[in-house]
Chain A
């Protein structure tokens, strides 16, 4: 069991970034009652932002991160105004197709603009390795983990203590009542959507120095985020956090025992299994449907 420390630390490092992707997704679901199928594409845009800033302006990805937060927030705000706003109260099917449409359009926009080539962000400290508990880790992974945890903690603090965060939680609980209390729900939706996009955009910047950047790069990460979000209970931020770690553990152990090639099948089956076994605890229950109506 010499591999155990390596497995545990790997799980934590991966889980931290997954959590940042997942909390944005679950936050959007909780407040807007929309599953964002374009979430992965916003991650991909974040990765490209880091890449181009690095390639053209020689920006360090962690410097880009600071810039990326307002940029992703603005992109999120604009996409809410342009695409999401008219369909926030529409049926599930309309919402699904709208975000799927957005996903396809963004993915292929990246394909047309940047081609399908995989790009790499090779920083000077790319090969620097840190030893933790006798196991070796890439420094970029550790930094990504630390920042992701800090951002996630920041989001939790924001949701718990700030006025805007409280308003968002109130809207998540009961949108009709919130509207009656004089809350501008449209504004709350816009902020929520933009915050969710900012989170996933930041995650993209953090992942760029570790993984290759290409137009469909978001898909693999966001699939994991879906698994985490469903496992944690859609709309439940703390649940998503814990579930992200659980999914990371499955992935790490899966890669270790059955190889990276088939690990995807493992968590996809896990995902389907969770959906099938526990739909009522997630979204299928009548209460949630009524709230969404």
Chain B
């Protein structure tokens, strides 16, 4: 139960922040941190816990974003319904992807997931009749909770927080449950897990489905929050890498890690954009250089992420005291 305490503090602070903070920029950053953190947590379910390293998760994010945007613009229904539809579609596609990629390991799985998100990118940007093609979809602002037309960023913090807590609880379930133990065993050594009676194949599919549904929910909320869906962004490999990077920085296979990682990279990204973005459009890529280098450095030097690193530090501090 000890592990839950820091998370409670983190989420409580996030939930209380809107009561204290009035600054729109800070609240905006908080919403983004919570959405990216949830997406990273969703990625972590497949990548961190099940060891299914996907670099095509933007596909699910894009499906959610498009489902919400299209349901609002084409059928004038509630984006909440779009969120549910997006999650369902993502689950169904996750089922197919998970089933087809079941035997793929290591770099093969990565290649297959990248190819899959590229297919959706092309469909999203070229199927003009349905998706509006490469111009993307502006999401109209219709005031009201049911239509998610909310100008007050404080409400957005609470909506995003609800999603974040859900994503966190899914991971906590994996930390403590039978299925979680089995999933981690599959990650560590699939053949050994099979030999011990772990139904590795369907557990992997299930993990991908849950991960896909959560990622799509993030995409749906994000689209409504930002108000625009650009196929080249929502289906990009860079976005998939962002989810993975946040989870890796925070700590793969830890429940709180993805949120810490997302907070860090969102801060760095916002800072670098503010510092260099004004100097020219080319410099916008500077935070991505930092992403790339961070990825190389983290997997080599801090493989267990911030959570592992802080945990190690605490243990080291506690050890002499115990003696």
Contact = CB atoms under 8 A, between A and B. Distances in A.
- Do A and B touch (CB < 8 Å)? yes
Contact of B118 (A97, A113, A114, A223): A223
A100 B295 CA distance: 8
B109 to A, nearest CB: 9
Contacts of A268: 115, 118-119, 122
Given A35-B107, A101-B293, A280-B103, A107 B119 contact: no
12 contacts: A93-B299, A104-B288, A105-B296, A109-B289, A112-B289, A115-B282, A116-B281, A116-B282, A215-B285, A271-B112, A272-B115, A276-B104
Contact of B300 (A86, A114, A280): A86
Contacts of B284: 111
Contact of A108 (B104, B281, B286, B300): B286
Contact of A269 (B55, B119, B286): B119
A262 B108 CA distance: 24
B168 to A, nearest CB: 23
B126 A272 contact: no
Nearest to A215: B285
A275 interface: yes
Contacts of A93: 51, 53, 106, 299
What is the predominant secondary structure among interface residues of chain A facing chain B?
helix
A94 interface: yes
Given A83-B296, A100-B241, A116-B281, A284 B104 contact: yes
Contacts of B286: 108, 112
A92 interface: yes
B291 interface: yes
Interface in A136-176: none
Interface string B177-188: 000000000000
Contacts, number: 142
Contacts of B110: 35, 37, 96
Interface of B: 51, 53, 55, 100-101, 103-108, 110-112, 115-116, 118-119, 122-123, 126, 238, 241, 244, 248, 280-286, 288-289, 291-296, 298-300, 303
A177 B51 CA distance: 30
Contact of A282 (B108, B283, B293, B294): B108
Nearest to A227: B115
A64 B54 CA distance: 38
A196 B3 CA distance: 47
What is the predominant secondary structure among interface residues of chain B facing chain A?
helix
A63 interface: no
A98 B106 CA distance: 13
Given A104-B241, A108-B292, A98 B300 contact: yes
Contacts of B248: 97
A103 B238 CA distance: 10
B52 to A, nearest CB: 10
Contact of B292 (A90, A105, A264, A271): A105
A101 B296 contact: yes
B191 to A, nearest CB: 8
Contacts of A243: none
A272 B112 contact: yes
- 8 smallest beta-carbon distances between A and B, as pairs: A105-B292, A101-B295, A92-B106, A104-B292, A108-B285, A111-B285, A35-B107, A108-B288
Contacts of A230: 108, 111
A223 B117 CA distance: 13
Looking at A86, A113, A116, A265, the one whose CB has the most chain B CB atoms below 10 A away is A265
Contacts of A113: 282
B116 A272 contact: yes
Interface string A169-192: 000000000000000000000000
